[in-house]
Amino acid sequence: MANYAVFDATGNCGSSLIDVLLKSPNKKIHAYCRNKEKLIRMIPVAAENKGLQVFEGQIDNVDVFACCIRRCKAAFLTVSMNDNVPDFRQLKAEEHSNAKMPKVAVLSSCSLEDKLCRNLPRWFHWAVLQETFVSYLDLSAAMVEAADDPDNRYDMKDVTVHNTAGSAKFPVWLPPLAFCGIRRHFFPWLHPYLPLLG
């Protein structure tokens, strides 16, 4: 049975990863989140599923993080951050020198990788920075496919996901989210007065 660690299990992509992984009975899931009760409210099967173990803690809690990834085939880091937190080098140093680290799939915006956006017009590149129109389940399925690839074709590579099955449903929350985001960007002093939408 392969073990998979999902970080930010209560986020959109993390909870979608859990949904995708739960469809395979031969996969054991280590779900890392800050609030176990929130995870159980979002994914009620998490309370009684023997194939899902919940690890509760902050992302910088190296001890809990290390327990979560121990003996995992892959770790999905879907936490939104720009730093190396938690520091995988520190985790490797704390483990035995012969311990095998899991394959790590990091969720990132394609807009940050120039080679994935080089054929896009500038205005569209700006739009990609705001939001993408790929479902979280599609993105999660692609991350699992990359982690499970027996030929390791995706190792150490930037991979993008494109919607090929027709148009994705336009998210109704996108216009208010973009509108608030633009106001926050150009008028940061408004931040305390704007609603939290994301």
- pLDDT tens for 104-132 read 887 766 555 555 566 666 666 565 555 45
Does the structure show a pLDDT above 80 at 140?
Answer: yes
Rounded Cα gap, residues 130 and 112, in angstroms: 12
Threshold 0.85, pTM exceeds: no
- CATH, range 2-114+134-162: 3.40.50.720
- Are 29 and 52 in contact by the 8 Å Cβ rule? The answer is yes
SS3 103: strand
- Are 20 and 49 in contact by the 8 Å Cβ rule? The answer is no
Bridge partner residues of 104 (DSSP): 75
